[in-house]
Structure 1
């Protein structure tokens, strides 16, 4: 399924907070979880699903990103979260940093998986699709958005 360009892009800004520790350890893709306090009422309004876009960390970047917005059904989360995975190798964690996240493309709905392996495979596919789409002229043009100025 091809990535769908959003008709209205989403611009988020929040502090990076510690999550459950599953992204890097269990799934092989560390996430920069956004503070639900910083997102406020917007968090409830955000449609769930898997998305891609561009992000900066304390003004550095922009970096390609893929994110889960929702409850992560496989792990049965009790709270809705925004969990971007930046497609860049960082030397260390950046908890407390300000992350600006421009969501430009919709990949797929949030879903449950029968095994951890099938979840990991879906995440790898999401990352590959995001990388490819964000390298297109349309996808890359968003890296210059006013959010990052």
Structure 2
């Protein structure tokens, strides 16, 4: 049986059928604009989605940390007449909310895409901006365009490691790169790839 545990902080992941509470499935919901740090600081752009208030697993039962799974994306059909809006962030940068209109030309609509995700409070930044759990998804595929405002469906299949407060951004980046490698490997295993 295949297994992986790259760091001491990682849980052992084995190539065996998933056990409750997995898989955890979230319905399609809108990708929100976050702080922009995933792209700018960490070379790890993330799709931020709301944690449904009635989902006890994501709000209370699951530990904070890094998980792996699959997601699907589709253009947001609501208010398509307002596509390609610009929004100014707190740091004065502009973000395009395009509702996922470019997903079709990138052939990424409703495909099962591998992802790694964080559920937590971004404790390394220690800026008290996040008062409740956040859910940030990094899709392990390349995209030509950002897809803020698109809709994402998420299936969480397992846990990689707990949320860690790193001493520096370089340590955080190294940790994230290892998380991506772990997720990329395990999502090819028979136990996970066909869910």
Runs of 5+ consecutive residues of structure 1 not aligned to the other structure: 143-149
Task: Indicate the structure (1 or 2) with the bigger Cα radius of gyration.
Answer: 2
Q: Does 1:116 align with 2:169?
A: yes
Cα distance in 2 for partners of 1:75, 1:40 equals: 25
Name 1:100's counterpart in structure 2: 153
Structure with the larger helix share = 1
Name the SS of the counterpart of 2:47 in structure 1. Answer: coil
Q: How does 1:78-89 map to 2 (within 5 A)?
A: 78-89=131-142
Q: Does 1:7 align with 2:20?
A: yes
Q: Does 1:71 align with 2:85?
A: no
Q: Does 1:33 align with 2:48?
A: yes
Name 2:89's counterpart in structure 1: none
Name 2:90's counterpart in structure 1: none
- The normalised TM-score by structure 2 is 0.67
Deviates more, 1:74-83 or 1:3-12: 3-12
Label 1:22 to 1:46 Cα distance change in 2 as closer, same or farther (>3 A): farther
Name the SS of the counterpart of 1:41 in structure 2. Answer: coil
Name 2:187's counterpart in structure 1: 134
